[in-house]
Chain A
Amino acid sequence: MTVNVLMPALSPTMEQGKLAKWLKSEGDSVKAGDVIAEIETDKATMEVEAVDEGVLARILVPGGTENVAVNTPIAVIAEEGEEVADTADHAPADRVGEEDKAQKQAEAAPPVPGQTAPQDEPGEANKAATKAAVEAATPAPKATSVAEQPSPRVAPEVPEGTTMVSMTMREALRDAMAEEMRRDPSVFVIGEEVAEYQGAYKVTQGLLQEFGARRVVDTPITEYGFAGVGVGAAFAGLRPIVEFMTFNFSMQAIDHIVNSAAKTLYMSGGQINCPIVFRGPNGAAARVAAQHSQDYSAWYSQVPGLIVIAPSNASDAKGLLKAAIRNDNPVVFLENEILYGKTSEVPALEDFVLPIGKARIARPGKDVTLVSFSIGMTYALQAAEQLAKEGIDAEVIDLRTLRPMDAATIIESVKKTGRCVAVEEGWPQCGISAEIAMRVQQEAFDYLDAPVLRVTGKDTPMPYAANLEKLALPSVADVVAAAKAVMYR
């Protein structure tokens, strides 16, 4: 009997990855536990172990193949002496045999803490050095990779004719930090696994290699403590970027975020400001259940003294993170794990900084206003596409900044459409969409042709079971239904 070896998932959100290399050849005997191959994504590398005893009869996906979908058969293990049918049609034949150059570089230049990675042209500017270091450490994801989200309209702040480059939100965030660290020596990154490990979600990849251990600081597992240390350093004039491995763990540190960071400027009569960024993935990832899936958008948005940002795409992520780092206030920067790997267009500008507190009209329309942010934009934009097929022209607004909230852009849109649906993954009670509904009824009541509706995460802890998790989160269908409801269709 033959057994197919399948492409494994390294993380709950992994959809595809690279089969880096085979450690066994066709015909080799294997037993359970033998490492037979290495796979990697832009986040991590992992060994594939055989789970059965036998002979590696066929390698279906050659070493060096990119973009192998999870669960694709990559090899066949047969019993000793068994005949194996030709199953090679499983293999994506057009990507055969390419020994990846970046992989070789990565092996040649292991990360050295506190040192810039070696480069070919020592005379080159700092920037080039980083690029080399980063490329050495990470094979750049190919443009053809992940399923794209509907491409968001370029930020209105980007001049016409600007050259755009494709990158993941993960890379955009990393570039934003690196650029600001080059620009201002008082900027540093601190958090769990940000340095040696290159970031639990690989957002800080390459930073240690360029900036060294003084400015890229691994902490113990001690959120309350390192949030407080960050705040103290910010009081004393540094500009810390504090990474929470996920915002779920920021609940340990919320006292320092709220009591120390947000309130001290006020309590000191304007003397002591706190220029700090608290950032990390927020909200649901995939199958990580109740304690690792909470959305803190509404929690932090309630606090005066904080700025809260939640971008939905790489371009906004880069421009807003740079703005957040330069801002003299504490900024809570809510990222999203599922969006990290999504690719979109980022302007190739020397210094791309976006204004905080400005929403973006991601899709102009005239019939109904859909307002969302972060991963909620994925539902909103896809719903708008579907609605268009049914003759409903939805305007989609991406808030980008949650506090201060750009209510003016929402109100202006609602005055035009007369209908509004707010979309978020967070819980309904006292949520961001509750706030949107309140502002719309207060400032555009006479323009409304229907009550404001909201599509939110369900009012339960996040379940683990795949079917229940799906039910707990909003869906495109929910948004379409809500939009139709306010259209009375």
Chain B
Amino acid sequence: MVEESGGGAAAASTVPPFTREQELTAFRDMLLIRRFEEKAGQLYGMGVIGGFCHLYIGQEAVVVGVKMAARNGDQFTTSYRDHGHMLASGMEPRRVMAELAGKRGGYSKGKGGSMHMFSREANFYGGHGIVGAPAPIGAGVAFANAYRGDGRVSLTFFGEGASNQGQVYEAFNMAALWKLPVVFIVENNRYAMGTEISRASAQIDFSKRGAAFAIPGKQIDGMDVRIVKATADEAIEWCRAGKGPYLIEAQTYRYRGHSMSDPAKYRSKEEVQKMREEHDPIEQVRARLIADGVSEDELKKIDANARKIVAEAADFATADKEPDPSELWTDVLA
């Protein structure tokens, strides 16, 4: 469990407080992702979404916390558990949902699907189906930032499972060697598909995985959006100051299976239940907002609004047409 591993995380010193405005932003953005993913799960069950579909439920604080620390123009790159990253990047929920449904109004015209989505406009560089791939690609985006000297930072996410791939360390080495402005964020949700971290990783403190390249690393409670934001602030500042890459291990948890077809026999229902009850990233913010005097009604309104956006996205995705058959042959070459 999160609280058992790495004293560095849960036992982190004082948590930097959010303003009420920040709490509300975090609440709104995380809730939108949660509702979106719940809807995606439903649509998958109805056959509207096909193939592989990996939900982000439980991990929302990671991408939202990083996004709150990022500046306009900073780029996001991740692997295939990517819907949350797209919404956090400001991509339109209806076009993301249409892509999940393989419809022409999707970000990739229906040709990419859940795992392969991009938005040049939103500086979202995928959406990659090969789990370790974001590390060198994100380092490459950072290479372009350094080449141009434009002060942008590449925010590169991958899972703790991908952290065992060789290309991740090839990317770490070059990023450190050339002082590239890239924050590597390991989203440690404890299970690489069905393999628990201690069965796959000789070193389960993933914040130490950059130590051989002198990349500073920090292991944090990725269920607390304030901690994620504060750590991302430090990391991004480090990068923008030209000091090179920074590694964050955000300890998190996914409530759903690895993909929609996962029976989740590798962990107990009690374990999942305990995480939901005691560490849910959204509930933590809700409790603080209530304590701060925000009314239940106001929070319900935020929830209702998220549900409305998601329902509209689902309607759009369902009603939208499949791509024209001629699209089979487009976008092969520029």
Contacts and interface: CB of A to CB of B under 8 A. Distances in A.
Contacts of B287: none
Given A236-B145, A237-B144, A238-B147, A269 B331 contact: yes
15 contacts: A214-B147, A224-B167, A225-B173, A228-B140, A231-B140, A232-B141, A235-B137, A235-B140, A264-B118, A267-B127, A268-B126, A269-B106, A272-B118, A272-B120, A272-B126
Interface string B130-143: 10010111111111
A270 B119 CA distance: 10
B333 interface: yes
B191 to A, nearest CB: 24
Counting chain A CB atoms within 10 Å of each CB, which of B135, B154, B332, B333 scores highest?
B333
A256 B136 contact: yes
A270 B331 contact: yes
Given A238-B147, A266-B111, A267-B112, A225 B331 contact: no
Contacts of B109: 269-270
Contact of A188 (B147, B154, B331): B147
Which 4 A-B pairs have CB atoms at the shortest separation, nearest pair first? A232-B140, A228-B136, A225-B170, A236-B144
Contacts of A328: 334
Contacts of B125: 232, 235-236, 272
Given A236-B125, A270-B109, A229 B143 contact: yes
Interface string A267-302: 111111101000000000000000000000000000
Interface of B: 75, 77, 106-112, 116-120, 125-130, 133, 135-145, 147, 154, 166-167, 170-171, 173-174, 177-178, 330-334
A267 B108 contact: yes
B85 to A, nearest CB: 15
A225 B136 CA distance: 6
A351 B8 CA distance: 60
A111 interface: no
Counting chain B CB atoms within 10 Å of each CB, which of A228, A237, A260, A307 scores highest?
A228
Q: Is the interface of B mostly helix, strand, loop or mixed?
A: mixed
A328 B332 CA distance: 12
A224 B107 contact: no
Classify chain A's interface size: 35 or more
Contacts of A236: 75, 125, 140-141, 143-145
Contacts of A217: 178
A233 interface: yes
B153 to A, nearest CB: 12
Given A224-B136, A228-B137, A269 B108 contact: yes
A263 B133 CA distance: 13
A402 to B, nearest CB: 15
Nearest to A190: B143
Contacts of B112: 266-269
A220 interface: yes
A237 B109 CA distance: 22
A69 interface: no
B179 to A, nearest CB: 13
A87 interface: no
Given A232-B139, A265-B334, A238 B144 contact: yes
Given A232-B125, A269-B331, A271-B120, 4 more contacts: A229-B140, A236-B143, A267-B118, A305-B333
A228 B133 contact: yes
Contacts of B332: 265-266, 304-305
B107 A229 contact: no
A222 B116 contact: no
A270 B166 contact: no
A329 interface: yes
A151 interface: no
Contacts of A267: 108, 111-112, 116-118, 126-127
A226 B137 CA distance: 9
Nearest to B180: A229
Contact of B133 (A220, A230, A255): A255
A225 B167 contact: yes
